Amino acid sequence: MNARNVLRVLLLSLMSIHCSALCQGQVDFRRADANGDEQIDISDAKCIHNYLFAGGPSPGSRDSADADDDGSITISDGDFILQYLFVGGPQPPLPFPGVGPDLTADGLGSTTYPSNMVGQGSSLGFNGPSQVVAPAGSGVQVPVSVVLTAQGHVQAWSVGVQAPGNGSLADATTQGTVGADVNDILPGLRNGGFEITQSAPGGVVSAVDLSSGWQQIVLPDGTSNTVLNLVLEGTAPSAGSSEIWGLQFSDGIRGSGQPVQNIVSVGGRSFVPAIESYHVEVIGIPEPSTLVLGAIGLLLLGTVGWRRRIRA
């Protein structure tokens, strides 16, 4: 072997050793999946905020937490995820939506992926009347609240609600709930953070992050909190008949961003809540004018009968 070939072999060997040193411990990952649960949701933004500002654990895949792929983990990565999920922001750079190696040279690295699977915790339900009586053919509006019962210290959530069958969703707002900002006319708990509530084909979606940065706001463990106010509306059925209107939580409803999942975030981890549906019986009665005329008729009949008895 001549000197040139010997030098070539040595160079290749050195490159191989250098690559092994760089790649040792590196694993494939999915960009923006900061908590490593193999899905992108509001908890990934909270995972980044907790790591940066509240002493939360370092993501197993720091490259995953670098959602915008600028080579560092900052508050802008959490904001990037929220914008992508809920307001139609750009999708994360590669590797995304599948897993793969980091194509950008930086000092972050990925050692564990996936690392933090989705769990079960908290519950979502509805609070509203069980029965409504209204004149036949009249418009009916039924106020209903979405209630989140916290298991652990809940920091954020996203919900999707639809009205199958009779009745439709006419309004959805966080005003008057814990998701409202502390500076709103009807103040809530949220201070800064993030909130979006939208009508969407097939229902409504809402996402709330109670705080970002150094301030950490949570729903206390075991408390029940109104997180969304809804109006279910429709037309009362014919007199003497009734209809069942309802609401249910549904994954995959899409507003201006990505399909929304019913997720509760605790400590930057995603928890799938137990869910309940809601039903209200809407009963139709005669029009008020018919009732009034009927009452007058009965009164007249009674008066005539009384006069007859007097004359007798």
- Environment class of 209 (CB within 10 Å of its CB; exposed 0-12, middle 13-18, buried 19+): buried
Pair 156, 206: CB distance under 8 Å: no
Tens-of-pLDDT digits for all 312 residues of the chain? 555 544 443 433 433 333 333 444 578 999 999 999 999 999 999 999 999 998 888 887 899 999 999 999 999 999 999 999 999 999 999 999 999 999 888 888 888 898 877 889 999 999 999 999 999 999 999 999 999 999 999 999 999 999 998 999 999 999 999 999 999 999 999 999 999 999 999 899 999 999 987 888 999 999 999 999 999 999 999 999 999 999 999 999 999 999 999 999 999 999 999 999 999 999 999 987 654 444 444 454 454 444 444 444
Long-range contacts of 198-202 (CB under 8 A, 24+ apart): 198/172, 198/255, 198/256, 199/169, 199/172, 199/255, 200/160, 200/253, 200/254, 200/255, 201/253, 201/254, 202/162, 202/250, 202/253
DSSP strand E in 10-164: where? Answer: 119-127, 131-135, 139-149, 154-162
Please give the angle made by the CA atoms of 205, 206 and 209, to the nearest 5 degrees: 150
Token digits of residue 217 = 């706001």
Please give the angle made by the CA atoms of 76, 77 and 81, to the nearest 5 degrees: 115
Instruction: Please choose, from the candidates 72, 77, 73, 78, the residue with its C-alpha nearest in 3D space to the C-alpha of residue 45.
Output: 78
pLDDT for position 112: 86
User: What pTM value is reported for the model?
Assistant: 0.84
- Distance from chain centroid for Cα 21: 42
Residues in CB range of 213: below 8 A, 6 or more apart: 49, 53, 75, 192
DSSP strand E in the chain: where? Answer: 119-127, 131-135, 139-149, 154-162, 168-173, 194-200, 203-209, 224-235, 242-249, 253-254, 259-260, 263-266, 269-275, 278-285
Number of H helices, E strands in the chain: 5, 14
Domains and CATH numbers, the chain: 23-117 (1.10.1330.10), 119-285 (2.60.40.680)
57 prior amide bond cis, ω within 30: no
pLDDT for position 303: 46
